[in-house]
Structures are given as structure tokens and as C-alpha cells.
Chains A and B, each alone.
Chain A
């Protein structure tokens, strides 16, 4: 039986990844990224014009875990991204022709600055950071992923939310043509998610634009997605086109689909089982056929940074 060596990214895996992202496209974007680098150091975060190009000027972060990261193959072939199908390898198979440029994000609601922004302009005022986070799926598996992104707190601040802005609401692109999963009403499209403003401004929250130093592959939510590592993976809304500052708690896609199974908060909590399965333990992807599951930690092990957000909240009721 095969044991996956997930501990290190070996060169064969990188080759297969490059292969996947199409060599010619890769070389072209690498050249573009190279020329963009000079601008980057002056202007802040830059994203290669061609998807899946290399990102530059990434700083490390004290919030990163030193746990071994999963392989690129694991992270890019085992995804929940129902817009491209509900099997784990569907996003990898069905997202190849998804166009992520040009891309714009509409910012609206209770904020001083609102409007429609190009992806490039949206991220330009900020600096890229690598955040190596644990990712715990509500299906009781987990990975360790080296994201590249921007602290959401900085993005929120940039738009100067008003006091009425109690929540931030996000929406994925609605594109039936290119997202074949949206042709079936598995969930209410477009996918929507939300955070309280204090969750959004917590230093752990980021909007990711890349993994492993490269711009996000389509199946991982290109070109811009949310990462909130103390929550179940489904909170990490992908391919974001709308961000809105709202007063009322926004309804989220999974909560709308099955309110008794998926709540608004969706904090990782080993003591509150999913109605149909236990959340006490998790399968770490890449640990091999004979590895035991590992115990799940409260807030996915990020309690020291986020537990204070939920003081006085009954987490059994607000799951």
C-alpha cells in the first residue's frame, strides 16, 4: 500500500503541479510576474495577470503553524467547491477553463468607501503574507495549507466601515456557464457567507490570493477567497465578487440548506457533534492508510486568538 509522503514537497510533485497548470501558461505568467516584481516592491501586493503565476514579496507571519504542510497534490485535488461539482476531485477536473481575469469585487453597505474595484486595485494597498494554517473541514478531515493572503482586518479598515456595520457579508461569483455545479440547485447560488465585524478584523482572518507562493488555482477559490482557520472549511468562501458591510446577521448558504447541521458561526468544536457524525476527531489528509485519526482541538487550536470573541455565547446553541 502506498504511504503518502506529505511531509515535504518533493520535486516530482512540483513538476506534476506545473504540468497541471499548463507549462506554457506557467512560463508566460512567470515572466509577467518577474516584470511585475519591480512594481510590487513600490506599490504593495501584486497579483500576476495570468492565473497561477508566482507571487512575490511575501512576508512570513507569527500566526503560521510549524506543522508539516500537505502536498500540493493533496491541496489541489481534494476540494469541496460545489460550484464545480460535489465530488472531491470535481473542482480539479471541472475548473480548468474558469476565467479569473478580469475580476472585480463590489464593496457595498455601511462603509465610507464603497464601489467596484479591480482585483489588482483591491489588493494593491496591502502586503502579502504567508499564513500556514490548519484547515478543518466539517466532514472531519484536515490539512495544513500554506496560504498567501492579506489580513482581512486591513482590507476592512481600508473601506472605513460605519458603526452600523456589524457584519461582513461575502458572495461568490454566479456563473452558470463556467461553473457547472451551479446548474444544479444543491445549494442556493450564489454561495454566500458572513462574519461578525470582530471576526473579520481578527488578525487570523485573511483573504487569500495564493498557495505555496503561487496564485490560487481555480479549484482552491481563485482569485480571492476567505480563510478563517478556527472555523470549519465551508466558511472559507471562494472566488469572491461581493463584500458588503451589513447590520443584520447575513444568511449563509449552508445554513440556508440545512440549519440544524450548519450554523452561522461554524467554529471548530469537538464537543458539538454534527447531527450525523462526530467532530471529536479528524483525519489528517496525507497521513497514510494506517494512521489514526487525531483529536480535534477547540477552535481548531486557535483558541488563544479567538476564544474571547465568543465570551458569553452558548456555543452549543450557536454552533
Chain B
């Protein structure tokens, strides 16, 4: 009981703040307090937010394997927050693209979504993350039962589409998306192997 309280009133706020640091750094860089944005600030903000979206997707996928490997069940208590941060960064990445990159030019946005396959992929990922985010409260989760688990398995799809989205937009140097792809492959493979065992509780 004591640990639960500690997690709720100390560790969770702390982790929440840590997860916000990338956002704070973008703002303070834009204001030239901690550093500066590149000569192409819109691209810089968009790339940083997208990268953090992908990193949080990786992070949320490491939580249940970590729980199993360490045997520390409290780890799972952070999963929802990390997942919501994944949605938050991907959504901010999308907003930067729509507002700053496209200036809310509806025809340009629609044209890009239809004609640029990597943007289509990004939008599908964002939609799935949005569905998971709005169904994340415990009350909704209880009401939805088994269906909730099925819906939230789409995080695996999101992780694959997210890397694909990144891979398709790099000009030629795919080393970074490759690193993400390797990490996510390991995390998905781990689940696949665990899933075969009937006693597994990995989701």
C-alpha cells in the first residue's frame, strides 16, 4: 500500500515531468535559452517531436517485458502514462506539420495525405494512437473488457507503421530508422516467443 502511494504521489509526477522535458527543451531552444533551433526551425521542431513520439512508442513496448524480466509488477503502473506521452508527441508532431509546415492549407494537407504514402502511414498511426488514448481511462477500460485489449494491441501496428513512416521520408541515410526497427523487432519477437507459452501474461 505504501509503495502504491509513493508511486502515485511521488514517482508518477516525477516521471510525468521527465517525459515533458523534450517539450520544454524545444520551447527553451526556440526562445534561445538552452540552445537554438536549426536554420530551418519548423523542420527541427517537427523532427524532434516525431523522434520523441517514436521513442515513447519504443518505451511503452518495453514496459511489460521489463515487468516480466524483473518481476516488479509496479512497473506496469507507468504504462498508461508512457502510452499517453507517445500519443502526445505524435500528435504535437502532426500539429507542427499541419499548422507550421502546411499553414493549415487544407488542400495541401489533403494532397499530402493522399499522395505521400509516408504521410498516409503517419496519419493511420496517429488515428490508432488517438483511439487508444481516448479509451485509456480505467473506467472505460473496465466497461470495454476483452475488446479493450484487442484495441490496444494496435500499438504493435503503430510501432511498425511509425518506423515505416520515418524510413520513407529519410533521403538516403536510413541508419536511424534502422536502429528503431531493430529495437522494435526485438520487442515484438520477445512477445511472439512469450505468447506461445500458455502461462504468459504479456500483452
Report which A residues bind B (CB closer than 8 A): 1-2, 4, 70, 73-74, 77-78, 82, 86, 88-89, 139, 141, 184, 186-187, 257-258, 273, 276-278, 281, 283, 285-286, 288-290, 292-293
- A88 contacts across to B, CB distance below 8 A: 38-40
B203 at the interface (CB under 8 A from A): no
| Shortest CB distance B180–A (Å) | 16
Distance in angstroms between the alpha carbons of A89 and B37 in the assembled complex:
11
Q: A86-B173, A278-B111, A293-B103 are in contact. Are A2 and B37 (CB under 8 A)?
A: yes
Distance in angstroms between the alpha carbons of A82 and B43 in the assembled complex:
18
Contact pattern, B 6-45, Cβ under 8 Å of A = 1, otherwise 0: 0000000000000000000000001110001111111100
A286 close to B39 (CB less than 8 A): yes
A-B Cβ contacts below 8 A, count: 66
Distance in angstroms between the alpha carbons of A225 and B48 in the assembled complex:
32
A2 close to B32 (CB less than 8 A): yes
B97 at the interface (CB under 8 A from A): no
- A258 contacts across to B, CB distance below 8 A: 172
Q: Which residue of chain B has the shortest Cβ distance to A89 in the bound complex?
A: B38
Q: A276-B117, A278-B111 are in contact. Are A257 and B40 (CB under 8 A)?
A: no
Distance in angstroms between the alpha carbons of A288 and B100 in the assembled complex:
10
Distance in angstroms between the alpha carbons of A286 and B39 in the assembled complex:
7
Q: A2-B32, A292-B103 are in contact. Are A285 and B40 (CB under 8 A)?
A: yes
Most buried by A among B30, B40, B173: B40
Distance in angstroms between the alpha carbons of A289 and B169 in the assembled complex:
21
Q: A2-B32, A289-B41 are in contact. Are A278 and B115 (CB under 8 A)?
A: yes
How big is chain B's contact interface, by range?
A: 20 to 34
Distance in angstroms between the alpha carbons of A177 and B109 in the assembled complex:
44
Contact pattern, B 154-191, Cβ under 8 Å of A = 1, otherwise 0: 00000000000000110111010000000000000000
Report 28 cross-chain contacts, Cβ distance below 8 Å, ordered by A residue.
Answer: A2-B30, A2-B32, A78-B40, A82-B173, A86-B171, A86-B172, A88-B38, A89-B38, A141-B43, A184-B175, A187-B172, A257-B172, A258-B172, A273-B115, A276-B116, A276-B117, A276-B168, A276-B169, A278-B116, A283-B40, A283-B42, A283-B43, A285-B40, A288-B41, A289-B30, A292-B103, A292-B105, A293-B103
* Contact among A78, A82, A139, A184 with B38 in the assembled complex (CB-CB below 8 Å): A78
Distance in angstroms between the alpha carbons of A288 and B169 in the assembled complex:
23
Distance in angstroms between the alpha carbons of A285 and B42 in the assembled complex:
10
Q: A139-B171, A276-B169 are in contact. Are A74 and B39 (CB under 8 A)?
A: yes
| Shortest CB distance B114–A (Å) | 11
Q: Which residue of chain B has the shortest Cβ distance to A78 in the bound complex?
A: B39
- B173 contacts across to A, CB distance below 8 A: 82, 86, 184, 186
- A276 contacts across to B, CB distance below 8 A: 116-118, 168-169
- New contact pairs (6) apart from A2-B41, A276-B117, CB-CB < 8 Å: A1-B31, A70-B39, A78-B40, A276-B168, A285-B40, A290-B100
Q: Which residue of chain A has the shortest Cβ distance to B174 in the bound complex?
A: A186
Contact pattern, B 74-92, Cβ under 8 Å of A = 1, otherwise 0: 0000000000000000000
Contact pattern, B 93-112, Cβ under 8 Å of A = 1, otherwise 0: 00000001101010010011
B103 close to A285 (CB less than 8 A): no
Interface residues of B in 45-66 (CB under 8 A from A): none
Distance in angstroms between the alpha carbons of A285 and B38 in the assembled complex:
10
| Shortest CB distance A278–B (Å) | 7
Instruction: Give 10 closest A-B pairs by Cβ, nearest first.
Output: A78-B39, A86-B173, A74-B39, A292-B103, A186-B173, A285-B39, A1-B30, A289-B41, A285-B40, A257-B172
B40 close to A289 (CB less than 8 A): no
- A286 contacts across to B, CB distance below 8 A: 39
- B39 contacts across to A, CB distance below 8 A: 4, 70, 73-74, 77-78, 88, 285-286
Distance in angstroms between the alpha carbons of A88 and B43 in the assembled complex:
11
- A77 contacts across to B, CB distance below 8 A: 38-39
- B116 contacts across to A, CB distance below 8 A: 276-278
Distance in angstroms between the alpha carbons of A283 and B101 in the assembled complex:
9
Distance in angstroms between the alpha carbons of A77 and B36 in the assembled complex:
12
- A70 contacts across to B, CB distance below 8 A: 39
A141 close to B40 (CB less than 8 A): yes
- B40 contacts across to A, CB distance below 8 A: 78, 88, 141, 283, 285
| Shortest CB distance A59–B (Å) | 29
- B115 contacts across to A, CB distance below 8 A: 273, 278
Distance in angstroms between the alpha carbons of A292 and B115 in the assembled complex:
21
| Shortest CB distance B50–A (Å) | 15
Distance in angstroms between the alpha carbons of A257 and B171 in the assembled complex:
10
- B171 contacts across to A, CB distance below 8 A: 86, 139
| Shortest CB distance B203–A (Å) | 35
